[in-house]
Chains A and B, each alone.
Chain A
């Protein structure tokens, strides 16, 4: 790094994004307005499973201000199919989603028609005038519930089954002193970013070019997919990323609308804007979680874990979208967690239902897997009479055992190993923070009408998915720096973090740096933001470009000053020679183009890790839970901006607590989504979880990237269900209540308490 008074990397720099957001001058999709712009609204299926017999749009088309009603018939004989971006297992291919329903609808919310109108209000008026004749078919809402296959080619509704694992689990179970098997589940819920999706598509017919603004996450991939569907060259399409109101995994995947809106713009030869409304968001954007698991643990009587068997059952909804089988695959992969379990076997069954398709949501599969395993650990420890902390301490992988291979758990991925860390130290830190030794006597105690419980949850979390990321740095004529990166911004403060890296490396003041991101216009290729990879991959690419640009600047300065490189230093956007002569960056950039590309390729995943601990009270008469204290301790390797990392952690904890207590997409047995409004789909508010703490550690940097970062977006959520459900279970243990299923609503906890009470009376 260059000589600067104070390095920005590692410090809580105020964000460069904030001034525009705080003053209301951000630029989000719905803020776009261009000359001649029309508005789209989408007619979505009101029933879960039906044949479409006829569509009559004549009345809608006759309304003033309506420009087009587009149905499958208007698109082509073969409706484009959304590709699998991740986990592209061949079994899933036939279950992929067409961009619009033609003969059949398979979930409430599936697009059937697109109305293009002068205003969104008129478009919505027209939706009410489109007549559709359906032939209703029976809905499938749970596993194995129906004889009727949802897809004509399939014999049943199971899309995929596989077995994976390492060691010899059968032998381990056969020889174990102790075995326990339990069934768990996590309810269907979703990320709910505050900004719904939105796109503006502009077709230039004379140039044959399409520009789509409002894209994010994986713009280059989505451009490729869109080009194929529209029969255009990739070069003829640009996807532009602007401000994005939250992603959390769900936003930016290729959805039906990512085809329908550009298609409509080309068809009506006018710019078309579509802003998803909240009601359609809840039925259209990827749902997630919705995993059940039968999990078995084999131990020695002293608590040493010998083997783990897990069967993961995943409700994928009506189609397999871009994320393929990531959610169940990761739920299976992370079942063993940070523990030394020599023999593991997992199986996955992904089945189709008449519900909105499933995709990734922050910590996909991990939130679920950690909940399943950590719950079972508490049950096993209690059975064996071992303290729950001691049980974990005994089984956590030690630093000496790292790197620790966990090969063979995901059929479409190569070998991988937990990289670095001190799992035990972080665990002890969490115990200390929550006050485990002082408070453990409270477990299950009734104090002032409420029962106390303290729960623990340990995790490892992968990040930094490859293969690659690109960046381009340009020293502008005024001496300022433009950073362009293939990573996408989803609202997490990436501009600031990348600016910090560039600032340190080039010794350019932070406020002289502008970060451009995501858009396909910036670079030849980019890979996007998911799997906590933006800093690991994008940051490393920026670092690489900055180092190259630094060399170019020094070379240029050497020519300019007539001194060798070895006598030059960069100080605050000036190059200074040992003899005191200096030249500013602006002067150098005025003389020649100073630009450098950087790249970072890496297939090795990072593994952050940590422990969460929760202290709750449960009112046993109402089932109401209060979270009195919550601590998340995570080693992220390297925190480029501790304030941003801390913000990620706290925000993720609260999202996770929503997943434990509130968030729930509720379907009836007809496949109707019953709570497609924010009045009924509940997420945490400022009053719900006022006491939370996060400790971010930088104990063991990642060896796989020059920054040492491990990704920090998801560690805050992945163990929330584990720790919190364990705390609730501990509180209710004296009432013989066990927790297997989320969400932990007051009525559910009340029911569990009542049932346990009834059992006790019957037994007596």
Chain B
């Protein structure tokens, strides 16, 4: 039986162009596919991952061109919509960054900072990435 695990993701856009994904959201998806039972909290700058309509243009270096540029809103939606991963977004961190709730991809859930202890209590493992 997989342990119910909460993954707090705060570092954002670190190496996402190189890796063509966020390495922690990717890891969560891979672990979920391996039988895990994961939830995600996006906090700090990572709340921006839930903003709909983002995506860097493909990187080009000389004649080399990237063909699979990352789209973090797509990957967040994929976790919530297709992989049975609850994705929470810290609402105060959204507000501090000027992001409105109606700008987010569907199916993410808001959580306040003061509610984090309760969310922690509902999980067996807390991974603060």
Are A and B bound to each other? no
Q: Which A residues form the contact surface with B (CB < 8 A)?
A: none
Q: Which B residues form the contact surface with A (CB < 8 A)?
A: none
